[in-house]
Structure 1
């Protein structure tokens, strides 16, 4: 780390550019009919499940009528031609009778589809793959959908040049999914409210490594190609699923508590500001003391060489970095393993619960490692001298005006400021009790802003409505004493 507590932000911390990724989906989507989710029809008059789950910022994202339990993805990738062949086996439970249902999927050619082993008719409309099974799936039934597909996955490029989806690197690919990019490389229910476990097997030429979420269960070589089999046994939102292929220096170890660690670093990024393989367990230990036990059965990081990407992403168990990170960025993305990955927003409007907490984790790290106190960082955001403070008063962090603004600076900076004001109001003991309880009670689940406020008031025994109205919901810049 440098002596200047902000120098690293301007050089190595491009995370806030991620706002660019939240764009075109809502401009081409149909608003979901949420009533069909709660009033399924009788078997004899069954109607198709809704497309969309009622997220008002992303109305067509996700699909109603079922809940996914598990994805088994078998992928074969050829970097020279950027060609992907895939089979997705999706195990789900119907929440209503389903004469047909939809999956989020864009690009790629679908060869065939089956439900419970029988051929299913399918059609494509915009970003939806609609399947009609041979028989109506009854409410409460568990069913298995298989989709075979191939082609060149899309890179979603937005108006300002920001990219997500399937992104080529100089020696492979990075699959990055926030908020909608995962639908470019596998079909699924791609709203964060439907989390599932994953098995992801990726076959690549043997000179490459293929990395994904969770724990590496097998490496199997056949001829000139090698299959890497990964398992993510804890529920995961699809936007933090990833695949990264390329030439990496891989380091494996365990923490003192036996947590498996897998760190992959592109050789071009070997001389970064910190030794990532050493810092990952240090940061996890630090965060565990403050936020509660680490929520997953493995950890690590992916450090790629993709400097034009402009952001890092909190891909579950192994955050993805487009270049060698500094310590604060590593703290930010690892804090997301608690806030965002384990406790996932119920809707995209609650994004501040991800980014506010991860940003405040940076402030806490600085406070405890000889840099600015959290109050000093708060003050620099408030008076506009912090390099990331630009635009934080443009809208309330808990009420982004559009999908294109859902990851703008208010969600980060003012979200963290809200948490700091909460800490000041209730005191450190109660504040950290709230944080640990939040992470424990919603571990591997979904939660929203209203639930967080209710927990804060319960733990503190105070009416905090004025604090949250002022810092979280008001459009005005608050006065501070």
Structure 2
């Protein structure tokens, strides 16, 4: 009996301890990303953003509000958002005014929010930040604003520039669904990710119903024309081309449907509910903004422009739907995009894949020594993660054969659809898919080694 009573007392003490709420503490002002340690913020997981953005062309003034729903992953006395170049007018948490402060961070600014009452662990909460600014105002970090001759702008936020448009948890590991309400005056159109769900006067509403990383926002206000079409399986296509240049860029945009069909034959069904291209003279590069890839007009002066279109299209699977867990995993984005664009080029009369990969093989050892191997780059955007990542996939295909390689890639985008994945996840996935002894070590040598492993034909 005494032993029984002692057990009951111990159980009561444990139950009482378990019921004691965790002591609130500040969320971290960074997630410790290997390449960008101060990006993102700890202590909460955003589920949905609702962004209102009112932009005035030519003057570049804007005002807006970002409201979000999140779940606290710890008991929070305060939490941070990434922001850069904004005047903050008001912050509320769970409908109550919150105390806030701005400080300089390593890649922008930190907005620290202290709620009126601490936030409980695992409990959802809401927050709203009202802000204003000017698109051409100085930023503490790099800007994502790109300006055209029309007095408008287009967002190119990769990798850490979404915070120049609105306060946000700016790391790809915290994906969320999004609503955008963008005001564009007469003569201009607005763009954002997802489906155009409605328009009331000059306010355009877009719904991105599949989770998206903040670096992929497609926010823009431009003098443009919407063009519409249908892709495979009736997929709605909507494109934005410069106003008055519909005859020039309409046929280019119309090529998208066939490109999607080609990609689907390689690695499966398109992962989102819509797709399109935005062609804008205020941008010089090409970027895989989710559901609406952004291209500068200069790309289409080149006869090989479709290679670039396919590159950004492939990213909708590899990078957008399946998003890297950290920026050091970026070869998982760029490797497939380069590889399949090269395959498209080969199938359409361009350079053969073996010839291209021999060139990469010859260059990559020096790049590994300077910039790191494909799976452990020392910075973002280098030859090691682009062409080097493609070479890893080429070597993998050579090792396992065409059919097994296609299974690896197709099942990868199915398994991690709408989520995040790492290089280690890919290694484990390839080994489990093929049941091939030694494939784990094979991929580790290619992804992490100081030198290229031997490869047939090189």
| 8 A contact 1:155–1:184 mirrored in 2 | no
RMSD over equivalenced CA pairs, Å: 2.3
Following superposition, the deviation at residue 43 of structure 1 comes to 3.9
1:375 to 354, 373, 391: 354
1:213 matched residue in structure 2: 193
- Normalised by the length of structure 1, the TM-score is 0.84
Alignment of 1:70-109 (within 5 A): 70-109=48-87
Alignment of 1:342-357 (within 5 A): 342-357=321-336
Task: Tell me the number of residue pairs that the alignment of Structure 1 and Structure 2 aligns.
Answer: 426
> Per the alignment, in what secondary structure is the counterpart of residue 59 of structure 2?
coil
2:421 matched residue in structure 1: 447
1:414 matched residue in structure 2: 388
| 8 A contact 1:102–1:129 mirrored in 2 | yes
Structure 2 vs 1, CA of residues 320 and 464 (structure 1 numbering), >3 Å: closer, same or farther? Answer: same
| 8 A contact 2:226–2:238 mirrored in 1 | yes
1:132 matched residue in structure 2: 114
Following superposition, the deviation at residue 393 of structure 1 comes to 6.3
Aligned mates of 2:80, 2:136 — CA distance in 1:
20
Following superposition, the deviation at residue 268 of structure 1 comes to 7.4
1:146 to 120, 124, 128: 128
Structure 2 vs 1, CA of residues 372 and 274 (structure 1 numbering), >3 Å: closer, same or farther? Answer: farther
Following superposition, the deviation at residue 244 of structure 1 comes to 1.5
Could you report, residue by residue, the CA deviation over 1:301-358 in whole angstroms, capped at 9, with x for unpaired residues?
A: 100002xx54211000010112244100000000000000000000000000000010
Structure 2 vs 1, CA of residues 376 and 270 (structure 1 numbering), >3 Å: closer, same or farther? Answer: farther
Alignment of 1:390-429 (within 5 A): 391=367, 394=370, 395-401=372-378, 405-429=379-403
Aligned mates of 2:209, 2:260 — CA distance in 1:
19
The reply to whether residue 54 of structure 1 matches residue 32 of structure 2 is yes
Structure 2 vs 1, CA of residues 157 and 49 (structure 1 numbering), >3 Å: closer, same or farther? Answer: closer
1:235 matched residue in structure 2: 211
Alignment of 1:162-177 (within 5 A): 164-171=143-150, 172-177=152-157
| Consecutive unaligned residues in structure 2, runs of 5 or more | 1-18
Structure 2 vs 1, CA of residues 448 and 357 (structure 1 numbering), >3 Å: closer, same or farther? Answer: same
2:405 to 402, 426, 431: 431
> Per the alignment, in what secondary structure is the counterpart of residue 316 of structure 2?
coil
Aligned mates of 1:285, 1:144 — CA distance in 2:
40
1:19 matched residue in structure 2: none
1:340 to 305, 316, 319: 319
Structure 2 vs 1, CA of residues 269 and 457 (structure 1 numbering), >3 Å: closer, same or farther? Answer: farther
Structure 2 vs 1, CA of residues 155 and 284 (structure 1 numbering), >3 Å: closer, same or farther? Answer: farther
Aligned mates of 2:83, 2:188 — CA distance in 1:
27
1:468 to 438, 443, 446: 443
Following superposition, the deviation at residue 477 of structure 1 comes to 4.1
1:13 matched residue in structure 2: none
Structure 2 vs 1, CA of residues 169 and 368 (structure 1 numbering), >3 Å: closer, same or farther? Answer: same
> Per the alignment, in what secondary structure is the counterpart of residue 330 of structure 2?
helix
Alignment of 1:317-332 (within 5 A): 317-323=291-297, 324-325=299-300, 326-332=305-311
| 8 A contact 2:46–2:176 mirrored in 1 | yes
Higher relative contact order (CA 8 A, sep 6+): 1
Following superposition, the deviation at residue 272 of structure 1 comes to 6.1
The reply to whether residue 301 of structure 1 matches residue 277 of structure 2 is yes
> Per the alignment, in what secondary structure is the counterpart of residue 257 of structure 1?
helix
Aligned mates of 1:352, 1:248 — CA distance in 2:
33
| 8 A contact 1:164–1:178 mirrored in 2 | no
Following superposition, the deviation at residue 392 of structure 1 comes to 6.9
| 8 A contact 2:365–2:452 mirrored in 1 | no
Aligned mates of 1:201, 1:471 — CA distance in 2:
45
The reply to whether residue 246 of structure 1 matches residue 222 of structure 2 is yes
Alignment of 1:250-289 (within 5 A): 250-267=226-243, 275-289=251-265
> Per the alignment, in what secondary structure is the counterpart of residue 70 of structure 2?
strand
Could you report, residue by residue, the CA deviation over 1:272-295 in whole angstroms, capped at 9, with x for unpaired residues?
A: 699332111111111111111110
Structure 2 vs 1, CA of residues 273 and 415 (structure 1 numbering), >3 Å: closer, same or farther? Answer: farther
Aligned mates of 1:52, 1:314 — CA distance in 2:
25
> Per the alignment, in what secondary structure is the counterpart of residue 234 of structure 2?
coil
